[in-house]
Amino acid sequence: MLCDVLTWAAGTCIGHRSFQSHLKPYWDSGLREYHKQMRQNSSQLCRAGRPRNKTNTEYMSYKAAKRDFRRAHRKAASEHMRQLNREIDESAEMNTNDFWKQVNTRRTTYNCNKSTSGIKFGEMVYRDQKAITEQWGFYFERLYSPSNSEHFDGKWREHVSQNVGQLREALIPDSNATVMPEDIERCIRSCPNGKAPGYDGITYEHLKPVASAISPLLANLFTAILRTVYIPDTLKRGVIITLNKGGSKLKDNPDSYRAITLTSIVLKLFESVLLQRCSTNMMTDLNIHQCGFQEGLGCLMTSFTLGESVYFAREHGSKLYVCYLDG
């Protein structure tokens, strides 16, 4: 209910911007209509089985809409480039700072993976967006479901199950646990912008304008979670985004994609509160060579330490044993 109210208020007062204008500043309502028509014809073509003959109505309609969109897109992009060139020429004569600023902006490129013609699940290739989404659901359902294998280590599974059970028994409700609204507000103010939302559609930009009003409500929610040792299932729902691993990985193979789960912003705020409450104790128990989760340390320091260890082993003719842990 809280998420629904936030999204309704934001949509009513601010509106929804579904397109990032800075990526294509020349995009206007005319191009939007051409693009919309092309996508509609493309969907009809996919539902018809993607025929390629010129006697098919869906195929010819898609080609015509695509041709019209490309022509309008090239015209708008060319006019935009001519305008940029005129601005650069004027800046070169009047203001050197503006000149180099615009030149550096022109150097920026945006790389994106081209969409494939389909993804092969099993022995069948799916091209329709709805069908692909459905097959991804079946794919991850099979992937995350327990399966029987002759090579499976039953003893290790029993060992892990026992330890997880002991951890659950150690979770004792604390009737005195309390989360203060000012802690929530401080976390909201420090959150970055531009992060993708989870299943509930809530972003940090929804919370920041109403931080002082919503902090007491979230404080009550987080206090209840700590006192009952229970997190609502709706907070634990996520959206899986598939990203191609790159390189020579085939784009029509589902095994070539990495799954990224977008979790709820509200849950991330709760995790931030937990981190603030226990960071002091956590930092004292970390090894001095542990570079993760510490300010001022990161991959550069780890790479430097590994490189120095390799050089030392080479100089002394000794072996070097390295163990990588990915939590």
Please, how many CA atoms are within 13 Å of residue 168, restricted to the half-sphere of its CB? 7
How far from 252 is each of 106, 258, 260, 296, CA to CA, in Å? 33, 13, 18, 41
What percent of the chain stands above pLDDT 70? 85
Helix, strand and coil in the chain, % to nearest 5 = 60, 5, 35
Taking the complete model, does pTM exceed 0.75, yes or no? no
Over range 303-316, report the average pLDDT: 91
* Sign of the CA dihedral running 50, 53, 58, 62: positive
The 10s digit of each residue's pLDDT in 134-169 is 999 999 988 888 777 777 777 888 888 888 888 877
How far from 35 is each of 68, 110, 170, CA to CA, in Å? 9, 20, 57
Over range 174-195, report the average pLDDT: 88
238 neighbors 268 (Cβ within 8 angstroms) = no
The token pair at 181 is 């609204």
**Does residue 64 carry a pLDDT above 90?**
yes
Domain ranges (residues) in the chain: 21-108, 158-285, 287-327
The 10s digit of each residue's pLDDT in 104-125 is 665 544 444 444 468 889 888 8
For residue 92, the model assigns a pLDDT of 58
For residue 269, the model assigns a pLDDT of 92
> Could you identify the residue written with the tokens 């993804």?
119
Nearest Cα neighbor of 137 from 123, 119, 151, 149 is: 119
Of the listed ranges 41-45, 191-195, 289-293, the least confidently predicted one is 289-293
- The whole-angstrom distance between residue 28's C-alpha and the CA centroid of its chain comes to 27
Is residue 22 very low, low, confident or very high in pLDDT (cuts 50, 70, 90)?
low
Is residue 220 very low, low, confident or very high in pLDDT (cuts 50, 70, 90)?
very high
